[in-house]
Amino acid sequence: MPVRTSTASDTGALAGFQPGDSLFTAQGQGFHGQGCLLQATPREDVGACAARLLAQAAELRAEADATNTDTSTPGGPRPSGADGARPLLLGLLPYDPAGPAPAQLRVPRSLRRIHTPSGLPPAPGTAILQRREYPDQTGYERSVYAALERLHRNDGLRKLVLSRTLELELERPLDLPEVLARLWQASPHGHTYALPVCAHSQDYFLGASPELLVRREGRRVRVHPLAGTAARHPDAAEDARIAQALLGSPKDRLEHTVVVEAIEAALRPLCRTLDIPAQPGLTSTARLWHLGTLIEGELSDPAISALDLAITLHPTPAVCGLPTADARRAIAALEPFERGYFAGAVGWCDTAGDGAWAVAIRCAHASGRRLTLSAGAGIVPGSVPTLEYQETGNKLRTVLDALGLA
């Protein structure tokens, strides 16, 4: 079944988004997965599980093609892929594979390719009944001080990423099409995403990530890590000054270098060529400037899929730290909550192994009227606790803006 393409000028492309559907966008285009044909929640060997799901979906497609089954009949779904031929899997990986949140893998019952809404829909206009920061500012800054002590003790740690949450109780549940349209329109070149995270189809993990974990097209690989952040300013001249200051910041350059070095170490053995610019560039969102480095390479083995690469790279030091195992232990000791899918990975893969995965940041977990937003900041020598708290607040505004609550 060919993918239907929409060029809606408002929320039209997302107006048909129903409970149980899924969304992932990249480079101005999106996949709207309607319903669910196959799904799994593996805790181990996610890559093998995904391959099985895609193989099963391909078999179902072949059977449907052979019998010319109508897609509208309950007994004969025909899964559709990104190009109308390959079944496509959408997935969500947790921050910690050993944690309580399992990976979420699903092959949609049908798939639409859609484009960025061109008109910003009105803010949903919901009210906040209750709000809670966890930890609060004092608690978060105390954790940053503790992280700096660990870094200064030279325990082998080079970087830690510490996060916090903002828990909201809203007047009414989210209107997902409106919120997703606002997230996508505000960040058309980023990655807007929404996937159900349990059997209850109203329970969603959603967001708009500016950070590409990995994209694979044939043998070509692209990674675009972001680390080092500054808040933007409405005055153009001041905004430009802030961007240049970020480029020259020793603290932010150190934070970014750690991430690039770790990604190079992971990719170099898998690639026959790897191009890494000597200096980072600037990437912007509506709220923030980031240091970013576009890394491109060519795989040695074409059998390595986009999901394989995502599993290999995740979590990067941009959301965890370095060394990874030491940083995980320190985060578990300093953060008073489970991250779940925050700082995980979200994206897609098809039967050819092509796909794109983003770092699961600028996000929220929505369950009915309850919404939990998460954001983190990289801690390296030279970090200032108050400024790191402010940085997490700026990152939380991505979702708050989409709700009209910032």
Fold of 4-123+131-402: Anthranilate synthase (3.60.120)
Classify 341 in phi/psi space as left (phi over 0), alpha (psi -120 to 50) or beta: alpha
Q: What is the pLDDT along the chain (406 residues), one digit of tens a residue?
A: 233 333 333 555 787 888 899 999 988 789 999 999 999 999 889 999 999 999 999 898 788 777 754 444 333 344 444 444 578 999 999 999 989 999 999 999 999 998 887 776 666 667 889 999 999 999 999 999 999 999 998 778 899 999 999 999 999 988 888 899 999 988 888 999 999 997 556 799 999 999 999 999 999 999 999 999 999 999 999 999 999 999 999 999 999 999 999 999 999 999 999 999 999 999 998 889 999 999 999 999 999 999 999 999 999 999 999 999 999 999 999 999 999 999 999 999 999 999 999 999 999 999 989 999 999 999 999 999 999 999 999 999 999 988 888 6
- Examine the residue annotation and report whether 44 is marked as an active-site residue of this protein: no
Q: Which of 349, 285, 358 minimizes the C-alpha distance to 315? A: 358
Q: Which of 144, 210, 155 minimizes the C-alpha distance to 322? A: 155
| Catalytic-labelled residue, pool 211, 255, 335, 391 | 211
- Examine the residue annotation and report whether 391 is marked as an active-site residue of this protein: no
The gap between the terminal CA atoms of the chain, to the nearest Å, is: 42
| Catalytic-labelled residue, pool 159, 335, 391, 395 | 159
Residues 366, 195 contacting (CB under 8 angstroms): no
DSSP codes, 181-223: HHHHHHSTTSEEEEEE-SSSTTEEEEEEE--EEEEEETTEEEE
pLDDT of residue 320: 95
Report the alpha-carbon distance of residue 293 to residue 291 in Å, rounded. 7
pLDDT of residue 15: 78
DSSP 327: H
In sequence order, what are the residues at sequence separation of 6 or more whose Cβ sits closer than 8 angstroms to the Cβ of residue 392?
A: 140, 163, 164, 375, 376, 377
pLDDT of residue 16: 84
Report the alpha-carbon distance of residue 318 to residue 377 in Å, rounded. 9
Query: How many CA atoms are closer than 13 Å to the CA of 382, on its beta-carbon side?
Result: 11
The domain segmentation of the chain, as residue ranges, is: 4-123+131-402
